[in-house]
Amino acid sequence: MSSPSLATQRIGIVGLGLMGGSLALALRGRCRSIVAIEPQPSVRQEALRAGIVTEATDEPAAGVAEVDLLVFATPVRTTVDLLGRLPALRPDGCLVTDLGSTKAVVVAAMDALPSTFAAIGGHPMCGKETSGLASADGDLYRDRTCVFCRSLRTTPAAEASVLALVAAVGARPVFLPAAEHDALVAAVSHLPYAAAAALMRLVTDEAAWEISASGFRDVSRLAGSDTRMILDILMTNRPAILVALRDYQAELAALTVLLEGGDEPQLSEWVAASRVRHAAYRRHLSARAPGEEGERVTDQG
Amino acid sequence: MSSPSLATQRIGIVGLGLMGGSLALALRGRCRSIVAIEPQPSVRQEALRAGIVTEATDEPAAGVAEVDLLVFATPVRTTVDLLGRLPALRPDGCLVTDLGSTKAVVVAAMDALPSTFAAIGGHPMCGKETSGLASADGDLYRDRTCVFCRSLRTTPAAEASVLALVAAVGARPVFLPAAEHDALVAAVSHLPYAAAAALMRLVTDEAAWEISASGFRDVSRLAGSDTRMILDILMTNRPAILVALRDYQAELAALTVLLEGGDEPQLSEWVAASRVRHAAYRRHLSARAPGEEGERVTDQG
């Protein structure tokens, strides 16, 4: 399969929510055409009106018919379902990637595609606590990490194509096996969601909100994440998330014991060790992408 | 005791860290003089060099000698210690307030002051995950809530004086009983710290940091809080923090059970309920201070 340059490609985006809409905005003018496959008429109309995509349809068969590269920007289980239907919709095959939050189930579905397809899983490490096309932002992917997970259908052409895509949107590619990706994001993304959501479920007192400050706002932010996206994450990465959740509760239980006992030297050590690790993490961020540490916070709006 | 206007007052600030330094910057030019009581020579020198304060001393007796209003910007237990020594240092009394994170122990120490003093506890609901004078910011208090907790030594003059102070720095005063303040901040501030610090203690893998995004950054941010400040919070608000910690672990345990069972309808309800509350909280923020929701994030630097 050839790897035409991005400028000559027709790109299909399945799902014009936050991620798909932001991708379309970032690619505008950088490819031949963008066709959206989106079930909601109002979203299709808005995307066409605003010139975010070239064409829009609710018919998957029509949408995928002539694309060079098809990008799934749907919740993980929707992507898996559609990948199962794809050979019937597009018998001659095409390049396929996705933007989903867990990768093992998506890569397994890609493995099952016929060899007319070339496919690689993708996961841009960015988002907002608001969802939908109205929240889309052409800079969402800029300077962000995008993880790619190879499938049995990954070809050099597929890799070249998604590398051209991340270069166009300003992201930074990282390659990881799907299982490793899923274990890491359980700790660094899915557990933080659970920590935020549990806090938000607990602190429902308006008197508490009234005196709350940026600490509460930031720790609770991920509780606003899209429900369907989160549910698919939870249901497709259960074992890894359970490990992270149990370890997290053990950390909190250890703190509780120290606090019950009023054990000041041990409490001091607990607090100091956490602070040391936070400092190391911030140094890591600075080294990874100078300037990113003080990055614009697109996700506070 | 009279309540002179801020412009005629000599203000003493005990401790030139993030909070005290930011207060001095915010008050610069708005009062007659600012004297810092600060043990570290390098911090005193820097504050004088940068014109942040008028005078600086490491001698509490000299520092408090002629101030109209004394503001403790020290960790809570340091404030309590110094309040106990204050009658000997300043026999004729003065106005006293503080910026500490828990209020019951501070207000109890204020209750014990002789009646030559007028005192009211204060807690500005703001901060950063960095500490020290180098992080000070004259806008730190702007548009932020400042809780005041009355003591047995609170007089109308003391109230007028701290209201003039918060007006000068652009903050929004809220009056609460100390016990109520401590219960609310356990949920809205101390628990979020614990959630952040436990996460940071757990996720120490550089491979995880490498693909981490703004979600992890925001949820973990409070782990960078000043160790001594946090230790004093934990040791002076133990019962309320223990309640919050146990409730939080119960929320996480409930999620764990649902995830173990793969109970999708219940998981969906858990996720959706959290999102609904987050939306209500964001509406509350918008109503509280229009524009604050999308506030500048001073604490990402």
pLDDT in tens, B78-99: 999 999 999 999 999 999 999 9
Helix/strand/coil for B31: coil
Q: Do B275 and A227 touch (CB under 8 A)?
A: yes
ipTM, 2 decimals? 0.91
Report how far residue A56's alpha carbon sits from residue B256's, in angstroms, rounded to the nearest whole number.
40
> Across residues B280-291, what is the average pLDDT?
85
Q: What is the pLDDT of residues A124-166, one digit of tens each?
A: 999 887 889 999 999 999 999 999 999 999 999 999 999 999 9
Report how far residue A62's alpha carbon sits from residue B246's, in angstroms, rounded to the nearest whole number.
54
Report how far residue B127's alpha carbon sits from residue B21's, in angstroms, rounded to the nearest whole number.
12
Q: Using 50, 70 and 90 to split pLDDT, how confident is the model at A298?
A: very low
Chain A residue numbers touching B214 (CB-CB < 8 A): 126-127, 295, 297, 299
Of the candidates A174, A227, A248, the beta carbon closest to that of B202 is on: A248
Helix/strand/coil for B241: helix
Chain B residue numbers touching A217 (CB-CB < 8 A): 285
Report how far residue A257's alpha carbon sits from residue A2's, in angstroms, rounded to the nearest whole number.
61
Q: Do A213 and B145 touch (CB under 8 A)?
A: yes
Q: Do B300 and A301 touch (CB under 8 A)?
A: no
Q: Do A126 and B213 touch (CB under 8 A)?
A: yes
Chain A residue numbers touching B201 (CB-CB < 8 A): 251, 270, 273-274, 277
The DSSP call for residue B176 is -
- Edge to edge, the sheet with strand A95-98 lists A55-57, A33-37, A10-14, A69-72, A95-98, A118-124, A145-150, A172-175
Residue B297: C-alpha distances to residues A284, A299, B126, B127 (Å): 21, 11, 11, 11
Residue B290 φ then ψ, to 5°: -55, 130
To the nearest whole Å, the CA of A64 is away from the closest chain B CA by 31
Burial A197-234 (b: 16+ CB within 10 A, else e): bbbbbbbeeeebbbbbbbbbbbbbbbbbbbbbbbbbbb
- Residues linked to residue A188 through DSSP beta bridges, in sequence order: none
Report how far residue B243's alpha carbon sits from residue B16's, in angstroms, rounded to the nearest whole number.
33
Chain A interface test: which of B174, B180, B188 (most A C-beta within 10 Å): B188
- At position A182, the amino acid (one-letter code) is D
- At position B177, the amino acid (one-letter code) is P
pLDDT of residue A293: 43
Closest CA to B124 of B150, B143, B152, B108: B143
Task: Check pLDDT > 70 for residue A300.
Answer: no
Dihedral sign computed on CA atoms, order A9, A15, A16, A18 = negative
Chain A interface test: which of B130, B212, B235 (most A C-beta within 10 Å): B212
To the nearest whole Å, the CA of B48 is away from the closest chain A CA by 28
Task: Check pLDDT > 50 for residue A11.
Answer: yes
Judged on CB neighbours under 10 Å (0-12, 13-18, 19+), A137 is middle
Of the candidates B185, B195, B271, the beta carbon closest to that of A230 is on: B271
Q: What is the pLDDT of residues A69-81, one digit of tens each?
A: 999 999 999 999 9
Q: Do B268 and A199 touch (CB under 8 A)?
A: no
Chain B residue numbers touching A185 (CB-CB < 8 A): 211
Chain B residue numbers touching A207 (CB-CB < 8 A): 180, 184
pLDDT of residue B295: 40
Closest CA to A175 of A123, A233, A102, A241: A123
Judged on CB neighbours under 10 Å (0-12, 13-18, 19+), A290 is exposed
Q: Using 50, 70 and 90 to split pLDDT, how confident is the model at B184?
A: very high
Task: Check pLDDT > 60 for residue B36.
Answer: yes
Q: How many CB pairs under 8 A join A and B?
A: 303
Q: What is the pLDDT of residues B126-144, one digit of tens each?
A: 988 788 999 999 999 999 9
Of the candidates A187, A212, A223, the beta carbon closest to that of B188 is on: A212
- The pTM of the full predicted model, rounded to 2 decimals, is 0.91
Report how far residue A133's alpha carbon sits from residue A120's, in angstroms, rounded to the nearest whole number.
25
B120, B154 in Cβ contact below 8 A?
yes
pLDDT of residue A161: 95
- Chain A, nearest residue to B261 by Cα: A238
Closest CA to B217 of A20, A58, A284, A150: A284
Of the candidates A144, A255, A275, the beta carbon closest to that of B224 is on: A275
Q: Using 50, 70 and 90 to split pLDDT, how confident is the model at B248?
A: very high
> Across residues B69-74, what is the average pLDDT?
97
Q: What percentage of chain A has pLDDT greater than the value 70?
A: 94
Dihedral sign computed on CA atoms, order B182, B188, B189, B191 = positive
Chain B residue numbers touching A272 (CB-CB < 8 A): 227
Q: What is the pLDDT of residues A213-267, one digit of tens each?
A: 999 999 999 999 999 999 999 999 999 999 999 999 999 999 999 999 999 999 9
A132, A97 in Cβ contact below 8 A?
no
